[in-house]
């Protein structure tokens, strides 16, 4: 049988049944959306856990220090480099 013959064999009842099942599935997804979102977040945390507060602080400090070092190296004037070093020593 060809695809065209299979399409012509669908009745109105089959189409209505398909639409009802699709509407029921969408309704259940909407109803359980918070639960599904929580399950997805839990699965994500299993794969990639959150960093602790100390780890986040250390990463931020390392990023800031690398940024300042990049600014120091990029700028050739000694006065600006000294000012940037002073800023880096405060943080």
Predicted local confidence at residue 4, as pLDDT: 60
For the cut 70, the answer to whether the pLDDT of residue 3 exceeds it is no
In tens, the pLDDT along 58-85 reads 999 899 888 877 777 776 666 766 777 7
In tens, the pLDDT along 7-63 reads 567 788 888 999 999 999 999 999 999 999 999 999 999 999 888 999 999 999 899
pTM of the model: 0.43
Exposed/middle/buried for 81, CB within 10 Å: 0-12, 13-18, 19+?
middle
Q: How far apart are CA 85 and CA 39, in angstroms?
A: 47
Residue recorded with tokens 């120091």: 72
SS (H, E, C) 62-86: HHHHHHHHHHHHHCCCHHHHHHHHH
């Amino acid at each position: 049988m060809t695809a065209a013959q299979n399409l012509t064999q669908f009745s109105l009842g089959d189409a209505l049944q398909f639409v009802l099942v699709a509407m029921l599935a969408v309704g259940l997804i909407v109803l359980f959306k918070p639960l599904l979102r929580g399950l997805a977040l839990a699965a994500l945390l299993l794969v990639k856990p959150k960093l602790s507060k100390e780890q986040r602080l250390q990463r931020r400090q390392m990023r800031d220090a690398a940024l300042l070092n990049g600014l120091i190296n990029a700028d050739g004037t000694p006065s600006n480099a000294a000012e940037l070093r002073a800023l880096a020593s405060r943080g």
